[in-house]
């Protein structure tokens, strides 16, 4: 059984898959409390479902792209089994994780979208740096930037750990904390080989707090 907060159909708002219709499976529970968290409702709320019940709900949308997200999806023991079941059935699967749990438990046929928590999140000390060795080229690493000091820190980590050779690297501003054009200008000025992204779903549906 997995504890599921919500299953919904929307436009992928992040990563190099941005713009593609996806089914999202949001699992309950998170081991972090990031300062800018916009999914606090996923900390506790949810219903227990079997993998079979989850697959049935996903199939209803007739969509081949599925993202498993949270909360933190790697906290639940059956998440790797859910991913395997989806991959076996021919779905394109993304797993979005906060980067504090071992990502190697996930099938290498799924793509990992992994946060590296910046200092202003308040959770930088929880990052599992071993995960960087576990990434491959289909995976993506995301830095959520709330202020200039986060950007300077992320730039240093990207260079020191050769991140752009290991995975796609995404930089995203925290909505309402950092004006997006500033991040775009810093990236251009430093000629970083990264992808700037805005959370497309928040532009499309600014009033919606969940299910998007």
Handedness of CA 134, 104, 30, 46 (dihedral sign): positive
Residue 37 in contact with ligand SF4, rule: CB under 6 A: yes
List the one residue out of 194, 101, 90, 190 whose CA is nearest residue 140.
194
Candidate residues 5, 15, 76, 98; the one interacting with ligand SF4 per rule CB under 6 A: 98
Q: With respect to ligand SF4, which residue has the nearer C-beta, 70 or 173?
A: 70
Site string for ligand SF4, 161-200 (x = CB under 6 A): ----------------------------------------
Residue 20 binds ligand SF4, judged by CB under 6 A: no
Work out the angle at residue 78's Cα, subtended by the Cα atoms of residues 75 and 79, and round it to the nearest 5 degrees. 65
Residue with the two structure tokens 């991040």: 183
CB nearer to ligand SF4: give 45 or 84: 45
**Nearest-10 crossing angle of helices 148-160, 180-190:** 40
Which structure tokens are listed for 13? 């708002």
How far apart are CB 137 and ligand SF4 at their closest, in Å?
24
**Which stretches of the chain bind ligand SF4, using CB under 6 A?**
30, 32-34, 37, 39, 70-72, 98
């Amino acid at each position: 059984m997995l504890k599921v907060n919500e299953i919904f159909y929307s436009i992928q708002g992040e990563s190099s898959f941005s713009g593609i219709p996806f089914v999202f499976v949001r699992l309950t529970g998170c081991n972090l409390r990031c300062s800018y968290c916009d999914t606090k409702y996923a900390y506790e709320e949810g219903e227990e479902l079997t993998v079979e019940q989850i697959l049935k709900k996903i199939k209803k949308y007739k969509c081949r792209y599925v993202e498993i997200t949270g909360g933190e999806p790697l906290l639940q023991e059956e998440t790797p089994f859910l991913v395997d079941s989806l991959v076996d059935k021919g779905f394109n699967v993304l797993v979005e994780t906060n980067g504090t749990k071992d990502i190697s438990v996930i099938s290498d046929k799924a793509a990992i979208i992994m946060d590296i928590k910046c200092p202003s999140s308040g959770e930088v000390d929880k990052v599992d740096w071993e995960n960087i060795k576990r990434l491959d080229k289909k995976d993506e690493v995301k830095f959520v930037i709330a202020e200039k000091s986060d950007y300077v820190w992320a730039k240093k980590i990207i260079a020191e750990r050769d991140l752009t050779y290991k995975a796609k690297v995404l930089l995203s501003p925290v909505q309402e904390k950092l004006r997006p054009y500033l991040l775009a200008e810093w990236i251009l000025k430093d000629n970083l080989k990264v992808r700037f992204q805005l959370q497309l779903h928040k532009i499309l549906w600014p009033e919606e707090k969940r299910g998007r």
